[in-house]
Amino acid sequence: MSSTSQKHRDFMAEPMGDKPVRCLAGIGDALGKKLEDKGFDKTYVVLGQFLVLKKDEELFREWLKDVCGANIKQARDCFGCLKEWCDAFL
Give the model confidence (pLDDT) of 10-51 as tens digits.
Answer: 898 888 899 999 999 999 999 999 999 999 999 999 999 999
Considering the chain, what percentage of its residues have pLDDT values greater than 90?
82
The full set of domain ranges for the chain reads 6-89
pLDDT recorded at residue 4:
78
Just give the CATH number of 6-89.
1.10.150.40
**Whether the predicted pLDDT of 70 surpasses 80:** yes
For residue 26, the surrounding DSSP H or E stretch is none
Rounded CA Rg of the chain: 12
Q: Which long-range contacts (CB under 8 A, 24 or more apart) does 52-55 make?
A: 55/82, 55/83, 55/86
